[in-house]
Structure 1
Amino acid sequence: MYLAIREMRFAKVRYSLIAIIMLLVAFLVLFVTGLARGLAYDNAASIQNMGATHFIMEKNSNHRFTRSQLNEEVGGQAGLIAGQENVQPLGVKMTVMMAEGTTGKLDVTLLGINPEGWLMPKVTEGTAITSDESGQVVVDRKLKDSGIGLGAVLVDQTSGLKWTVTGFVSHESFSHSPAVFLNEQDWEQLQLKTAPRPGSDGAGEGRIYNAFAVKANKHQVEQLVTAFPDSEIVTKSEAVSAIPGYKEEQGSLWMMIIFLFIISSFVLAVFFYVITIQKSSQFGILKAIGTRTAYLARSVALQVLLLSTGSLIVSTLLVQAIEAVLPDGMPFQLQISTLAYTSGAFIAMSLAGSLLSVWKVTQIDALDAIGRSAA
């Protein structure tokens, strides 16, 4: 450690330039990671926030809510296996709405739920909807930016149905569109308007939902699979991944992050390899007076570790400062767990990049290095 720190103090400019480059790369890695996590959450916040472990969907729906249709009888049968309190109906419909009296259109996702069930999110402003009163909804706070306030009347462009906003919830979205929660009665009216079934009122057929959210253990899941051969039992992660655009968006962003890791590793490897070549004579002299090769190799690795750790600390502070001034509508999420494994991966890649320099140190011959120095 003494040799590593002393050398860094002696060649301040050289190591400062390396530190700046590492700081910029670390900042870019953390910022893009925060954007990736933020976009992932914004794309599927409503599903991720649900306490369900699995979803029952129609077979061959490719795990997509909007492609699935199930009769409410499925929920009743599933309740006999997992418990009625552990099964909740879920309707999902992406649509366009307008505030009454305005011409501006809003892309939203309607979620039909049981307001007294555990799928109902916490209302942060206003009052929650109930099963007894129809024509009321709670909406995500994003709609506030579009001028939607408490008491506003929303009109569905497809069905013509109207709902009054009674409350707001936070961080509820589906496929990047704000969520609008309505009760089962309103969901049934929406279904009758947009996809009418045989008969005047659909009597005897029951309500149609896109899925049923389930809290189930491994044994209960196996029973559900057997009980519903014409349906699919989908995990929450599978349902999230099947949301349109989710995998493609995340795949592109994570590919960028991986390449940033690789680039930072190569840049660091080149810098330290060149520095090691320049110091070959000094390393040779140190070896000649008895300094062990392992000590010199540890010195190089320690320099990389100090530089990468210092760069990460500064870049983390910069990212947090920028996050504080980002607009509310910009999806950015960098949790402690994400920060920890990203930082660990960055340090690991930096140390991997130093292996070339370490190998070069072990190959230096003391007599040859002294001879070159004397010449």
Structure 2
Amino acid sequence: MYLALREMRFSKGRYILIGVIMLLVGFLVMFVTGLAQGLAYDNAASVQNMSATHFILEQGAEHRLTRSELSPQKLDEVRETAGAGQAEPLGVKMTTVVQDGEPGKVDVTLLAVDTHGWLMPRLTEGSGLPGTGQVVVDESLMEQGVKLGSRLVDQASGSEWIVAGFVQNESFSHTPVILMNMSTWALLESQSRSQAAGSPSVTDGSAFNAIAIKAVDSEAESIQAQVPGTEVLTKSQAVSAIPGYKEEQGSLLMMIVFLFVISAFVLAVFFYVMTIQKTSQYGVLKAMGARTAYLAGSAAAQVLILSAVSLVVSIVLVKGFEAMLPASMPFRLHLPVLLLTCLAFILMSLAGSLFSVWKIARINALEAIGRAAA
């Protein structure tokens, strides 16, 4: 450590340049990671916030909540196996609504739940649970002028609902969520089918898309075996099946991985060139009795110091940017993800220094001194 600090103090400009490059790469890695986490949460916040462990869908729905259709009889069968208090119906439908008297249209996702059950989120505004014809909406709709008592009209079916409350962080497929009780959902389904006369239906208007359950994996597999025509998904599988989720996260993950790889290569090139330039000095130190492990440890210590300092400054900058970002831009960088990102960045930086360590280990003291004398 002594040699590493002395050398960094002697060549300040060189190490400041490397530190600035690591700072920029570290900032970009953290920002893209926060953006990826924010987009993932905005895409599936409602499903992730549910206390359910598994979802039961119609067989052949390809893990898509919106493609499944189950009857109340299926719910009764599941409750007989899982327990009455461990299974709740869930309706999911994407649509467009307009606020009565306002020109704008908003794409939303309708979620139908038992408002007295454990799928119902906590209200942040409004009193009481929504009744028939009433809905609870995500707070993001306030930006569209929606408030308590506003009348929302479904563009597809013509159904009208009164806003009775607000909830927080409820979104699905990057659209705000509107929650309603099962009776309002049944009316909506009936109106939708009456407008599409002749379309096939499995129920009289009480169909829903999924059954949310609380169960361990073995119990979930047992339910699937005992209730024919269904398939069981874990919560993570249901999230991954949301349209565009895997593609979006895959692209961002590829960007993050490439940033890590680029940072390792840039650091490797810088330190390798510096090591070559100092070959004669390393040769003299080896001739004086310095061990290879000590010299290699000194090079690794320099990388570790630069990585730590650049990460600290990057965190400050990212948090500053996060405070200035608009509410409409999803960004989440919680402590566990932040720590994991920092650890990965340090490990990749140390990996990039291995070329320098390899070069130091191969330096022959006599040859290095001879080249320097020549």
Shorter-chain TM range is over 0.9
Report what 1:254 is aligned to: 253
* Contact map agreement 1:54 1:213 (CA 8 A) in 2: yes
Residue 3 of structure 1, CA deviation: 0.3
2:91/2:210 contact within 8 Å kept: yes
Judged with a 3 Å threshold, the aligned counterparts in structure 2 of structure 1 residues 145 and 204 are, in CA distance, closer, same or farther, namely closer
Contact conserved, 1:3 with 1:299, CA < 8 A, in 2? yes
2:266 maps to 1:272:
no
CA contact (8 A) 2:189 2:205 kept: no
1:180-233: CA deviation from partner (whole Å, max 9, x where unpaired): 00011100001101124999xx99857100000000113311211211231110
> Secondary structure, in 3 states, of the residue corresponding to 1:28?
helix
Summarize deviations over 1:310-359 as a string: whole Å, max 9, x none. Answer: 11111011101111111111100001110111111111100000000000
The 5 A counterparts of 1:234-245 are 234-245=233-244
Q: Which aligned pairs between 1:65-214 and structure 2 lie closer than 5 A? A: 65-130=65-130, 133-196=131-194, 205=204, 207-214=206-213
Residues 190 and 205 in structure 2, CA contact (< 8 A), matched pair in contact too: no
On the 8 A contact 1:19/1:311 being kept in 2, the answer is yes
Question: 2:71 touches 2:202 (CA, 8 Å); kept in 1?
Answer: no
Q: Which runs of 5+ in 1 are unaligned?
A: none
Deviates more, 1:75-84 or 1:350-359: 75-84
Q: Distance in 2 between matches of 1:258 and 1:245?
A: 20
Residue type of the partner of 2:330?
A: P
Cα distance in 2 for partners of 1:205, 1:177 equals 29
Cα drift, residue 16 of structure 1: 0.3
Distance 2:359 2:228 in 1: 62
Q: 1:115 to 1:54 in 2, by over 3 A?
A: same
SS at match of 2:94: strand
Partner of 2:366: 367
Residues of 1 paired with 2:294 and 2:334: CA distance? Answer: 37
Unaligned 5+ runs, structure 2? none
Structure 2 counterpart SS, 1:70:
coil
Distance 2:70 2:128 in 1: 26
Per-residue CA distance 1:140-187 (angstroms, 9 max, x = gap): 011011111111000001111111111111110000000000011100
Query: What are the residue-to-residue correspondences of 1:300-311 with 2, within 5 Å?
Result: 300-311=299-310
User: Given that residues 72 and 206 in structure 1 are in contact (C-alpha distance below 8 angstroms), is that contact kept between their aligned partners in structure 2?
Assistant: no
Q: Deviations over 1:262-314 (max 9, x none)?
A: 00000000000000000000000000000000100000011001111111111
Aligned to 2:294: 295
Is the CA contact 1:71–1:206 (under 8 Å) kept in the aligned structure 2? Answer: no
Tell me if the contact between 2:92 and 2:109 (Cα under 8 Å) persists in the aligned partners: yes
State the distance in 2 between where 1:223 and 1:332 align: 39
User: Structure 1 residues 360, 337: closer, same or farther in 2, change over 3 A?
Assistant: same
The question of 1:4 aligning with 2:4 is answered: yes
Are the counterparts in 1 of residues 282 and 360 from structure 2 also a CA contact under 8 Å?
yes
Is contact 1:272-1:357 (8 Å) kept? Answer: yes
Mark the CA change 1:273 to 1:182 in structure 2 (over 3 Å): closer, same or farther. same
Name the CA shift for 1:205/1:190 in 2 (closer, same or farther; >3 Å). Answer: closer
| Letter aligned with residue 101 of structure 1 | G
Distance 1:227 1:249 in 2: 36
1:151–1:164 contact (8 Å) kept in structure 2: yes
User: What is the alpha-carbon distance in structure 2 between the residues aligned to residue 263 and residue 219 of structure 1?
Assistant: 44
Deviation at 1:128, TM superposition (A): 4.1
Alpha-carbon RMSD: 1.6
Identity level (%):
58
User: 1:284–1:369: 8 Å Cα contact kept in structure 2?
Assistant: yes
SS of residue matched to 1:88:
strand
Contact 1:98 1:155 in 2 (8 A): yes
Aligned residue in 2 for 1:53: 53
User: Aligned partners of 1:203 and 1:357: how far apart in 2?
Assistant: 68
CA contact (8 A) 2:100 2:151 kept: yes
How far apart, in 2, do the equivalents of 1:204 and 1:374 lie?
93
Q: Which residue of 2 aligns with 1:323?
A: 322
Distance change >3 Å, CA 229–CA 9, structure 1 → 2: same
Contact 1:128/1:138, CA 8 A, preserved across alignment: no
TM-score normalised according to structure 1 size: 0.96
Question: Secondary structure, in 3 states, of the residue corresponding to 2:125?
Answer: strand
Q: Is the contact between residue 99 and residue 148 of structure 1 (CA under 8 Å) also seen in structure 2?
A: yes
- For 1:258 and 1:219, the matched residues in 2 are separated by 35
- TM-aligned CA deviation for residue 81 of structure 1: 1.6
Alpha-carbon distance in structure 2 between the residues aligned to 1:34 and 1:195: 42
SS at match of 1:209: coil
- 2:256 counterpart letter in structure 1: I
